[in-house]
Amino acid sequence: MKRKMDLILHPVRLKIVQSLLNGKTMTVHQLAERTQDVPQATLYRHLNKLLEANILSVVQENQIRGTVEKVYALNEPAIQSHEDLLNLTKEEHLQMFMHFTTHLMGMYEHYLEKEKPDLVKDGVTYRVANVHLSDEEYMETAQEIGKVILKAMKNEPSPERKSRNIATIVIPE
């Protein structure tokens, strides 16, 4: 999996993966529009590396004027139930986490591309907080955090409200 993360962290491959998050599918032409500074031969080389590492797959092939246009997608395990989550392999869990963190990186990159981002004014923050909680204290804390976030999610858009993304990750030691 470390090899896959190293593979994805290349700027061109990261942009490809970010373009295909959330179940999106794209052709080389569509991906080229998102990576305009990348020559087509280079884009194909990076796509092939992602295919070989089983990060991407070809989900459709379209015949267009005597050639085959491939449609690419991320390989993501389908999660429909708690049981599906429990039955994922270590590799599948790492792949899902990789997609999650890749999505976060894309959101942060998009924010930083603003003309003059003001991290303090905009309330940008990221940190790791190591806490010591019993199982009962953890469940209580998680429920309280969930209630606060759920309350904020019910807010309707308005001129004085900015859209903000809050991501949480809990990893036991």
Number of domains in the chain: 1
Model confidence at 40, pLDDT cuts 50, 70, 90, reads very high
User: Is position 86 within any domain?
Assistant: no
Query: Looking at the predicted structure, is the pLDDT value of residue 158 above 80?
Result: yes
Tell me, yes or no, whether 102 lies in a domain: no
Does the pTM of the predicted model rise above 0.85? no
Measure the CA angle with vertex 171, ends 165 and 173; round to 5°: 155
Would residue 25 count as lying in a domain? yes
Here the CATH number for the domain that contains residue 47 is 1.10.10.10
Inside any domain, residue 53: yes
For residue 46, what are the domain limits?
2-74
Residue 168 within any structural domain of the chain: no
pLDDT in tens, 56-113: 999 999 998 889 999 999 887 766 678 877 888 888 888 888 888 888 888 898 899 8
Is 69 a domain residue? yes
DSSP letters of 3-47?
HHHHHHTSHHHHHHHHHT-TT--EEHHHHHHHSTTS-HHHHHHHH
Round to whole Å and give the CA distance between 58 and 125.
37
Let me know if residue 167 belongs to a domain.
no
pLDDT value, residue 1: 54
Edge-to-edge order in the sheet of strand 56-64 = 26-27, 67-74, 56-64
Quick one: pLDDT band at residue 139, thresholds 50, 70, 90? very high
Residue 15 lies in a domain: yes
**Residues 6+ away with beta carbon under 8 Å from 145:** 168
